[in-house]
Amino acid sequence: MKLVFREYLASLRERDELDVVLPDLLSELGFNVISRPSTGPRQFGVDVAAVSPAVDSEQKLYLFTIKQGDLTRAEWDAVPQGVRTSINEIIDVYIPKRISSQYESLKIVICLCFGGIVKEAVRDNLTGLISRLTNDRISFEEWNGDYMAGLLAAGLLQHQHVSKTLQSRFQKSIAMLDEPDVSVHHFTALIEGLVKGDNLEVSQRLATLRQMYICLSVLFVWARTQENLEAPYRASELVILRAWELVKGDIEAASTGHKHIGLTFSELVDLHTKIWAEQMEVKILPLTAKRDALASSVYSHSAVDISLKLFDTLGRIAVRGLWLLWPHLETDDLRVLEASEVPKEASRLARHLVELINNNRALFSPIADEQVIEISCALMFLSMMSDWRSHAQEYCGELLNYYRFNFTQHHGYPTIHSSYQELIRHPQARTEEYRMQHTKGSALIPIMLLWATLAGETEASEHFARFVRSEMKHCNHQLWMPGPDTEAVLYRGDPSHGLVLCDIPITADGAAARNILVRECSEEGHYTDLSTIRLGHWPVFVMACRHSRLPLPPQLWFPLIMREEPVQSPVADTWQPTLGTLQAHSAYWFSRRASADLRSDGDKTIHFVLSPKWENGTSE
């Protein structure tokens, strides 16, 4: 474990990495951190200030100056950030003028913190300076990478008394970074072990949150060295969701301990952002403007593999875009932002998203109905910016055309199944029976139609509505909604919960579906009770839906497509809402695991018709 941490510390960058890990390590060691790194004002050589725990009834004030990697002659004499300059600024300015009166009586330790080691070429310079400046009040300590690695190895998991098995899982997750599925499997076991520990007290939950942060940071830095960031990206989503479930009760509390939890959770989100940027900014976004560059970069000749990877990339970019827009909403309700309100980074990301779609035509032909999740994320992101809403509508218009063509040709139309084994063989037959079996239900069709009719009826929506009436009478158009059991299991990746709104009418102008959703979304329900919604962290909810492979519910995105004066439709007037509980053994579109059929009868009863392998079918 010490070797793992030593290599990790040696690879950390000074800014936003080593200076973020050090305060958490100090807190775990019992230090009271009184000053953290900041950008903007001069720090006069001090990156972190902390008061040590009492030793023989005496506390000391530690002033840390942090440098990346090894200390070389270049780092020693660099201007203005060299070690010698930092030490002189601490002596000349920080100690006389910046120390608070409550700490003036404490002895001072200037601690030189390096991710690596002190090179021999500069050792004598450092020793001479320390000897000259040491006195009764001021002393020096050297924390190199090897020393801090020992602190991490000895103290990182001590609060939970984690077994050797979980420590082994951590090591295996790093060793198997070239096999992301295996690496994430082991890392998931580690996180589950930390979360299931004794976390009754605030201090215990805070310690667990810090441990999760450092473990993820270690995984990320090792993966960055190997230039394979798939495992840490997926692990970062998992960690945020499990961390939210652990500390959601502390986020809105006001005590000092709860505030520290909020700060550490924010650092965890920042780490996820760094991992995203390292992977997407460097490797993916530069290729979006080139025709089929990303599609041809998928290491497979299978159209299924290309589709899965492209839609996954679409979702990752869109979710990052939603995080960028989140701070610019004054309330928790989503709305369309004017051009002056949109940050430049979000507009730049929207441009890359549109280029990705237009230059990779596979994104017009989803192969699985559950790819509506990534499509919805992209539509939400584009629709929240006035300058990009038209692109969302145009994308859905093309999706409708491609869906109709592929269905008619018995080729590559979206199936209700999502297992790789099913997708790789789809379609196995060009028969009506097979096609009906694989399109029994759809959450994709209502989403496509609603966004395609943002500005009213179009030629594409009119053709598609006639197509649905003639060719897809067997299909149950539906939308997923949170249920009373959603909050308890959503952040664990369990998809077997919630409600489904069935028999959404498909019309050329989308008015009938909109009128229905106006009624459904105006009622207070289980959606508003979700912790991520109640506490204003809806991007975490989007991340949870995507992680659990659940469609985004209409309560989240409907304000973006709602018209001020819905047009009444005869279909909407006669439609009766039907809600079905998605039980663990009978979840439908969700019938990616089961070939199930949800249909609404006149008595408003939903019948679950299950395939033979599902023996415990119910109807309610």
- What are the per-10-residue average pLDDT scores of the chain (620 residues)? 74 70 81 78 82 87 86 77 86 89 90 85 88 91 86 63 75 92 95 84 85 90 90 96 91 70 90 94 94 92 94 97 92 85 95 97 96 97 95 96 95 94 93 94 96 93 95 94 93 89 93 91 86 93 95 94 58 49 36 33 34 33
User: How far is it, in rounded angstroms, from Cα 140 to Cα 122?
Assistant: 16
> Do residues 251 and 313 share a domain?
no
Range of the domain at 442: 300-609
Q: What is the pLDDT of residue 502?
A: 92
Q: Is residue 477 part of a domain?
A: yes
> Do residues 371 and 465 share a domain?
yes
Decide: helix, strand or coil at residue 167.
helix
> Do residues 517 and 549 share a domain?
yes
**DSSP state string for 550-577:** -PPPHHHHGGGT--SSPPP-HHHHH---
| Final residue belonging to a domain, choices 252, 287, 322 | 287
Q: What is the pLDDT of residue 592?
A: 30
Q: Is residue 620 part of a domain?
A: no
Q: Is residue 295 part of a domain?
A: no
| Final residue belonging to a domain, choices 155, 177, 212 | 155
> Do residues 126 and 169 share a domain?
no
> Do residues 113 and 242 share a domain?
no
For the CA atoms of 249, 251, 257, 262, the dihedral, rounded to the nearest 10 degrees, stands at: 140
Q: What is the pLDDT of residue 320?
A: 97
The residue among 309, 239, 248, 245 whose CA lies nearest residue 272 is: 239
> Do residues 98 and 222 share a domain?
no
Q: Is residue 423 part of a domain?
A: yes
Q: Is residue 293 part of a domain?
A: no
> Do residues 325 and 233 share a domain?
no
> Do residues 424 and 513 share a domain?
yes
Q: What is the pLDDT of residue 583?
A: 36
| Final residue belonging to a domain, choices 105, 138, 155 | 155
Residue 387 CA: distances (Å) to CA of 127, 317, 328, 338, 346: 60, 18, 16, 8, 11
Q: Which residues pair with 60 in a beta bridge?
A: 107
Q: Specify whether the CB–CB gap between 454 and 382 falls below 8 A.
A: no
Q: Is residue 135 part of a domain?
A: yes
Q: Is residue 392 part of a domain?
A: yes
SS3 content of the chain, % helix, strand, coil (to 5): 60, 10, 30
User: 499-501 and 479-481: which strand pairing?
Assistant: antiparallel
CA atoms within 13 A on the CB side of 482: 28
Look at the chain and report how many structural domains it folds into.
3
> Do residues 456 and 419 share a domain?
yes
Q: Which residues, 6 or more positions from 422, have their beta carbon under 8 angstroms from its beta carbon?
A: 415, 592
> Do residues 140 and 12 share a domain?
yes
> Do residues 529 and 395 share a domain?
yes
> Do residues 417 and 483 share a domain?
yes
